Structure 1
Amino acid sequence: MKIMMMYLDNFCFPLLLDTPIVSNGSYKLAAWEKGVMMILRKNPKYFDQKNVLIPEVRYLIVSDGRLGMEMYLSGEIDILGGNFLKIPLNFMSDIALNPEYKGQYFQKQIFCTYAFAFNTKKFPVDKILVRKALNAAIDRKLIIEYLLKGKQEVAYNFTPQLAQCLNNDVFDPVNAQKWLNQAGYADGKGFPEIIIAFNQSEIHEKIAIAIKDCLNHYLNINVRLNPLKWEKYTEMLQSPEDWHLIRYGWCADYPDTNNWLNELFHPERSENVTQWNSKEFLELMDKVDHTMNFAERNNLYCQAEKLLCDKACAVMPIYFERSHYLVNPRIKGWYHMPLGGQHIRNWSLKYD
C-alpha cells in the first residue's frame, strides 16, 4: 500500500520519477517518449530469461495508417494492424489478392462491435417506431462491401458471442417507411433534423455519411453529422442531450457476455449511454446474476439481445470487427489472441 501511495500521483508517468518501477516480467521499460516511442528491453532478472529470444522491442507511436503502411513496406516496422494502427482500407484489396503478401497477411476474429447508440430520451428517437424505422433503413451489407472492402462481418445484434440470436437481415426499406408513417411522419414529412455524433477518423466519417445517405434516400430524413475530437467525443457520451445517435463501439474486456449487456446497458448499474430503461431487461440481467448454468445464461442473454436490438432498438449494430495484420516473416512464433495479451517472450527473430 505504501508503494502504491508513493506512485499514485504519477502512476501513468513512471519516467518522470527518479526511482525506477520494479518489474518481474520478461521485459522492462527502458525508455518512453510520449507520443513518439516506447522501448522494452529483456529483463535480466526474469526467471526464464534464457528463453527470451528478442532482446528489445520498440513500439512506435504512429497516428496515420498510410504512414504506417509505408514504414512496414520499407522495413521500419515489423507488425502493423490489429487494434493499434489499422491497415488503411485502400490497401486491403491489394494485400488480400497479392501473392507477395502470402504468409504476411492475417485476418482474425476479435470480440469487437461497431455500432451506434440511440438517445432514447431525445425527440424524435424517443419513439420506438422511429428507432425501428431508422435501423431498418441502413444497408449494412452495402457499407461492408463498398466501404470496408468486405473485411468485416455484418451485425444485427450487439454481442458477437450471441450472433445466432438475431441473424436475420434487418435491412427492410418497405417496413422502415411503414414504421415511420405509423410514427406520424409519412414520407419523412415533418421529421426534424437529427444529429449523428462520432469521433473523428476517416472510416468513422465514411460510415456516418453512408448512414446519412441511407436515411435520406429511403426515409427522406435530414441528418447533420457532428465529427468530434476524442476528448470532446468522450464528453459527449455523457451528454446525450446533444445527439440523437452516437458511434458506440465496444471491445470485450473479458470473454463473457456480462461484459456487453450487463455492464453497458443495465438501467441501474452501468453508464447506459442510451438512457434506455426497461424493467424486462433489468429482470433478465438480475436472473443472469443468479444463474450458473451456461445454457440458461445464454438463453437469458439472447432474450436480452432481442429486447435491446429488436424490440426496443436502443442500439444500431453495424458490424462485428475482424483484425487485419501484416507481420514480417522474420517474426517467428507470432500468434493472434482475440482479447490481446500475446507474449512476446515466446517469439523469436529469424536473421538472414
Structure 2
Amino acid sequence: MNKSKWVVLGLAVTVLSGTIVGCGNDKAVVSDKGTSTEKQELNLTLGDEIPSLDPSKGTDSISFTIMGQINEGLIRLDEKGQPTAGVAKEWKVSADGKTYTFTLRDDAKWSDGSAVTAQDFEYSWKRSLDPNTKSSYAFMLAWIAGGDAYNTGKGTADEVKVKAKDDKTLEVQLESAKPYFLEQLAFPVFFPEKKAFVEKVGDKFGGDVDKVLSNGPFKITQWSHEQSVEIVKNDTYWDKGNVKLDKVTFQVVKDPGARENLFEAGQIDRFGLLADQVDRYKDKPEFKRRNDLYTGYLEYNSARPALANAKIRQALTFAIDGDKYTDIVFHDGSVGATGFVPTGISDGTGDFREHNGDVMKTKENAAKAKTLLAEGLKEAGLTEFPKLKLASSDSASGKKGVEFIKEQWRSNLGIDIEVELMPFKLRLQKQRSKDYDISITNWGADYNDPMTFLDLFVTDGGFNDVSYKNPKYDALIKSAQVEPDAKKRMQMLYDAEKMFMADMPVGPVYFSASTSISKPYIKNWVNRVTGPDMDLKTTYIQGKE
C-alpha cells in the first residue's frame, strides 16, 4: 500500500488441509483490562486528510488506518500477526489448498443493526473486481478463479468463484493455492460491503461520515475534512465486550513540531518521532523503535523521453546516498535501500533481502552516475537534462526529503530539478493518472511475502504508475503466482527483483523504520507491519492522572 511515513504511529500461514482451522468464540469474553472509572478516550494524529474509506477504492495507509478500526473482514490478525477469527467463526480448507469455506458468526452486525452476511462479502469482492469500479487493489482478488477474467473484461461476475451458499456460508475457489491467503483476508479490500447501502449513497460511498457503514470494533461519528476524525465504540460489534476504548479522536497534523507540542501539552497521547525528536525522547521508557516492511522510492514516469532511458534512471538513483537521506530526513533507524523488497520480508526460509543480496550496489555505482547520465542523454538524443519536476507530499519530512534529493542531483550530476509539493491525496491521484515527472513515494507490505512488492509492476498493473513493460518480468511473476514448489517459486522472485533493478523503472531510496513515544497510560497498543498501521480493538487506558 502507499504509506505515509508521517501518519500515525504478517507471517506465513500453515494450511491444515481438509480440516477446520479457524475457530472463534461465538460469545465475547469480557476483558478485565482497564477500569470502569477511567475515561477510555484516546487522542492521536493523522499526517493528512483521509483519501477514501471505500474498501474497494482505498489505496493508502491513512485510509487503511481508519478502515482497520471501523471494519472487519472474515479474518483478523492477532497480536502476533497470525490469522484468527473475525466475522468468520470457522473455516475449512480443501486438501489442495484452493477452496475455502467460511462459516460466519450469527452475531456479526453492521452499525445499523442489520446482519453481516456472506452476500456482503460476495458483493464487495465482485464490486472491487468490476472493471467499472477501477479498484487499484483488484489484483489481490484476481487470484480467485474467474476474478482476473472479470476484471479484465474477458469474463462475467457470475463466473467469479466466490459464492454465498447461504447467509452464513461463503465459498471461495482460488486459481492456485496461496499460502498467505488467510492473512490477506484481514486486508481492507477483502472487507464486506452492504449492497443496499453502497447503492443508496452512490459514488460518495466512503467519502463522508454518513456515507460509511461499519461492522468493526468502532464506527465513525465525526469527520471534519482536513481537520479531524472521531470514531467511537460500535455497540453492534459482535465482540464489543473486548473493546475498551469509548472514543478515539484523530487530528490531522502535518507538522512534526506541532505534534510534539500537542503531545507535551497532553492533547495527544502518542506520535511518531522524526529527526531531532528521536534524540530528545530515545531515553524515555515509552520510546519505541521498530523496522517497517516498506520501501521509499522514486517513480520515474517513462512517458517523459529522458526518463524512458534506463541509464538516466540508474544515474538518478545511484546519485542519492540513501543512508544520508534517512539520517537527515528521518533519523529513526531507516536505512538506505539495497533492493526493492525491504529487509524483513520472509522468503519462507528466512529474510528475502538477505538471501537475494544487495542488487543495487549504490555505493560502488555512485561513482558511475555522472557517466551513466551522459551516456543515457546521448542514447535519448538529448544534449542536456530537461526541465522536470520532483513531486512529494507537503509534509515536513516530504519537504526535507525532496530538498535533499535536489541537492544530491545538483552536486553529483550537475542537474537542477524543480520541487513540486502537494497534499498526500493529490500526490496519489497524480501518480495514478501518470500526471507527474518524478515522484518520491513508498510502498508497504500488504502481507509478508515478496510478491506484495514485485507484482506491482506487471504490465498494466493497478499500481504500475511508471508504465513499466517487460514481458520477461511479467512471465516470471505470473509463473511464481502459480508455482506450487516453494523453492522454485522463490527463485523466480529472486530473479524477478534482479531484472527489475537492472531496468530500474523506480529508484529505491530507503527501507523504513519508525520510532514513537506514547503516554505511559496507553496499554496493549498493537502495531501492524502489514495492512493498517495499528489495531485498537484491545487497547485501553489505565493509570492516567
Fold agreement, TM-score > 0.5: yes
Residue type of the partner of 2:200? M
Determine the structure 2 residue equivalent to 1:134. 316
The Cα shift of 1:273 comes to 1.7
TM-score by length of 1: 0.83
Residue of structure 2 in register with 1:147 after alignment: 329
Aligned to 1:292, which of 477, 484, 493? Answer: 484
Distance in 2, matches of 1:153 and 1:191, equals 32
Q: Pick from 222, 245, 260: which aligns with 2:416?
A: 222
| Structure 1 residues 28 and 129: CA distance shift in structure 2, 3 A | closer
User: Are 2:302 and 1:120 equivalent residues in the alignment?
Assistant: yes
Structure 1, unmatched stretches of 5+, are 82-86
Alignment of 1:178-217 (within 5 A): 178-183=371-376, 190-195=383-388, 196-217=390-411
2:526 aligned to 335, 347, 351, which one? 335
TM superposition shift of 1:319: 0.6
Higher RCO, 1 vs 2 (CA within 8 Å, ≥6 residues apart): 1
Matches for 1:236-275 after TM superposition, within 5 Å = 236-238=430-432, 240=434, 242-243=436-437, 245-262=438-455, 264-275=456-467
- Shift of the 73–120 alpha-carbon distance from structure 1 to 2, 3 Å rule, reads same
By how many angstroms is 1:294 displaced?
3.1
Q: Is the 8 A contact 2:221 2:232 kept in 1?
A: yes
- Once the two structures are TM-superposed, the CA of residue 36 in structure 1 deviates from its matched residue by 3.7
- Cα deviation per residue 1:301-341 (whole Å; 9 max; x = unaligned)? 221111112x1111111111122221111112123221234
Match of 2:277 among 57, 66, 91: 91
| Contact residue 104 and residue 328 of structure 1 kept, 8 A | yes
Taking a change above 3 Å as real, the CA distance of residues 57 and 181 of structure 1, as seen in their structure-2 partners, is closer
Cα shift at 1:26: 3.5
Offset at 1:231? Answer: 5.1
- Shift of the 74–266 alpha-carbon distance from structure 1 to 2, 3 Å rule, reads same
Instruction: Tell me what 1:84 maps to.
Output: none
Change (3 A) 1:7 1:169: same
Contact 2:275 2:331 survives alignment (8 Å): yes
- Give, in whole Å, the separation in 1 of the partners of 2:227 and 2:393: 22
**Code of the aligned partner of 1:252:** A
1:15-43 deviation per Cα after TM superposition (whole angstroms, max 9, x unaligned): 447xx9564x4334444444444333334
Please give the alpha-carbon distance, in whole angstroms, between the structure 2 residues aligned to 1:183 and 1:61. 43
Which one has the bigger helix percentage?
Answer: 1
Unaligned segments of structure 2, at least 5 residues: 1-194, 346-351
Tell me the TM-score normalized by structure 2. Answer: 0.56
CA displacement at 1:256 relative to structure 2: 3.0
* SS of corresponding position for 1:124: helix
Deviation at 1:275, TM superposition (A): 1.8
Structure 1: which amino acid aligns with 2:260? M
Percent sequence identity over matched residues? 19
Q: 1:303 maps to what in 2?
A: 495
Alignment length (residue pairs)? 335
C-alpha contact 2:318 2:369 (8 A) present in aligned 1: yes
Displacement over 6 Å in runs of 4+:
none
Report which stretch shifted further, 328-337 or 163-172: 163-172
